[in-house]
Structure 1
């Protein structure tokens, strides 16, 4: 399979500049990539809740349908850009109009996504061919989409008291979520103060944290948006590596949540962690305690201890790092491994593998995209230049890591 290239990465990143609610007065800029991250976090909770008791193959099939459906909808949204929802819904209601719009969207996207293979492109076409899909994964995604949009709406509602659209928008959000109440977890999302809803709301706050907070950039990315870019890259690289379905799904959701502790500690940069002996261990212990108190406990209170355990697995709590490559043996024991052993011996769904080394590459790649784009947009900064030099230099020495030709990919940006 051809390798992922610069044009696809730049397309994924473009959602960091795509503004939402830009016809309303806003307390802060709201961006598409942040909304997508929040949507997929909520979709993960609904997926895990509704997959309980399913056989492994059915559970993973549902998980991948949720992941790919979310990616397909994001890429579609990037192309149609500022079509307001009421207008888009009218287009979807007319089969001919929707077919023509979708054909045009695919014409725009195909040159960039074809590196992922014809099978992926065909799945994309088939997903878009049906405007209102009613399968379980699509309904989970739609409920998560409405929740995340409703969360943003509540941020701007009080600033727009004169806007006659607001009551109608809120009623539509509530009615649509209520129509999905047969999905386990949705009634709890509708119940303010329920631990499930509190956790979903907590995740949304990551949009308030700006990355590189002391470095001017355009666009100013948030921790929430960064998580989605890392997750998307992790999934797409997993396809390139011919990873099994469990690895693909795990890599996406591990990337999506890997910086969740920053909600509790904010972004503590590596030089600070290395400046005082023992401070890194102290920070790790604090993050663990805070996660237990403010995150895992919420999921347990919601009657979902399995979700708390799953999130701990994604975050690498057992080994102290989200970037450890791990597998789960048949006896339930989690073991560290390396990418070669993973590919040769553990690339099977039953091992529940997670490519921590690949996540680290994707984390660095997302930071590289942030710095590169800011510099291309005219922001001159020693910190940004140093970040590009550091990341490119690291992969120039070892261009092939975790099965990915990351050095040649970064060379595309020269």
Structure 2
């Protein structure tokens, strides 16, 4: 039995507090949850580009290894917090030292993670017990990690001209990515980041990174502030663990994670328009959606297709619910057949099979609102008094007081734990 608890959701949110590059001068704060989002977006690109030759079961299995590997690494990182990368790499190089550190990490994670089930707990322990492994999933995650960290480095490079570590840091990124040059897409990402070349994947990855510049609740002071990028990762993680709790099939778990990861990507084009504004003017929601779709086609989908990445454009369109009207609608498709919308009950009862390529809508919306609830709740607990934050907490508690996802996850009871 998989149980998602308050303490685990708060642990996942803790990456919003965790500063990165905090020994360097920074023109803006860089936090762990934003980096994890960018990393997993790049991992998705590399996954799609390097799995076309696989059968459907093999591709789904690789995707789940990437998603869970990324989540395991994030959980590990949350516990070891501020160990500088060079120090951590030295620890990893000594099995005894790494084993001692990892045993302590497990002791910290177990009270909050084990409720997700013995199978998940054992997968986490098995993955983290071995610091290095030359598997396709690990190589994709390592390449994505280097790119996302390198992108952050590009933000602070000009702010630290006196820093004698910069040359070694940049060499570690360029040299590290060179080790993965055999992966389709890595060369384009690296040359787009470090050589200034205009490549299709490089353009897309840099565009996604800009979502960390967009602050959520921009007119409401909060501690911590959260970006659209970090919010997307939290929604993806919550969606994955809720998918485990409702016994979603492997393809559905995978789709729910990546749909959550990209669900706010259109805000690159419109910024974060808060729900009360969208809902207060009747035609506004439809107008925004129409504009988003047109700009997505012009600035993202057409660029990907024109640059030889039609597979990414098509898959991204499915994750964003372009064929069913919203990312928050349930959708399925049979093999290469057309995408169609289904009800939540139909998805759970009849279409919860890999062959249908199923993707949730209502579950994703719950996770989106849950992430907003935790953002508001945490700010209030940290002493920020705001009518907007209080109203958001009250509204979401009431909205989901009686909501039970597929008879397995009582959302109201979960929110009630946040007293």
Band the TM-score falls in, shorter-chain normalisation: over 0.9
Equivalent residue number for residue 25 of structure 1: 25
Please report how far the alpha carbon of residue 317 of structure 1 lies from its aligned counterpart in structure 2 after TM superposition: 1.1
**How does the TM-score come out when normalised to structure 1?**
0.98
Q: 2:187 & 2:44 partners in 1: Cα distance? A: 16
Q: Distance in 2 between matches of 1:50 and 1:199?
A: 17
Alignment of 1:75-90 (within 5 A): 75-90=75-90
The answer to whether residue 247 in structure 2 is matched with residue 242 in structure 1 is: yes
Q: 1:386 aligns with which of 382, 386, 391?
A: 391
Q: Which sits farther off after the overlay, 342-351 or 294-303?
A: 294-303
Q: Does 1:401 align with 2:385?
A: no
Q: Is the 8 A contact 2:38 2:208 kept in 1?
A: yes
SS of match in other structure, 2:291: helix
Counterpart of 1:20 in 2: which secondary structure? Answer: coil
Give 1:200's aligned residue. Answer: 205
d(CA) in 2 for partners of 1:2, 1:168:
44
1:188·1:194 contact (CA, 8 Å) conserved in 2? yes
CA positional deviation for 1:270 = 2.4
Distance 1:6 1:25 in 2: 35
Q: Is the 8 A contact 1:198 1:298 kept in 2?
A: no
- CA–CA distance in 1 between the matches of 2:307 and 2:361? 28
CA distance in 1, matches of 2:373, 2:152: 28
- Residue 334 of structure 1 deviates from its aligned partner by 1.6
User: Which residue does the alignment assign to 1:146?
Assistant: 146
Partners of 2:4 and 2:317 in 1: how far apart?
30
**Could you report, residue by residue, the CA deviation over 1:9-39 in whole angstroms, capped at 9, with x for unpaired residues?**
0000000000000000001000000000000
1:160 matches 2:165: no
1:343-358 matches, within 5 Å, as: 343-358=348-363
CA distance in 1, matches of 2:67, 2:9: 17
Aligned residue for 2:110? 110
What corresponds to 1:97 in structure 2? 97
Q: Which residue of 2 aligns with 1:373?
A: 378
Q: Is the 8 A contact 1:299 1:307 kept in 2?
A: yes
The answer to whether structure 1 residue 324 and structure 2 residue 318 are counterparts is: no
More off after superposition, 361-370 vs 309-318? 309-318
Contact residue 2 and residue 244 of structure 2 kept, 8 A: no
The 1:185/1:338 distance shift into structure 2, 3 A limit, reads same
TM-score with structure 2 setting the length? 0.97
Structure 2, unpaired ranges of 5+: 193-197
Q: Report the counterpart of residue 296 of structure 2 in structure 1.
A: 291
What's 1:7 paired with? Answer: 7
Contact 2:323 2:340 in 1 (8 A): no
State the number of aligned residues. 413
Contact 2:224–2:379, Cα closer than 8 Å, also in 1: yes
Structure 1 unaligned regions, length at least 5: none
Aligned-residue offset at 1:278: 2.3
Aligned partners of 1:395 and 1:104: how far apart in 2? Answer: 37
Range that drifts further, 184-193 or 162-171: 184-193
Give CA-to-partner distance per residue, 1:89-146, whole Å, 9 cap, x none. Answer: 0000000000110011011001101111010000001101111121000000000000
1:30-45 to 2 correspondences below 5 Å? 30-45=30-45
Partner of 1:227: 232
Q: Measure, in 2, the Cα distance between the counterparts of 1:29 and 1:94.
A: 32
Shift of 1:306: 1.2
Moved more, 266-275 or 116-125: 266-275
Q: Report if the CA contact (8 A) 1:196-1:298 is conserved.
A: no
In structure 1, C-alpha distance between the alignment counterparts of 2:19 and 2:281, rounded to whole Å: 40
Q: Give the alignment's Cα RMSD to 1 decimal.
A: 1.0
C-alpha deviations, 1:60-104, integer Å up to 9, x for none?
Answer: 001000000000000000000000000000000000000110011
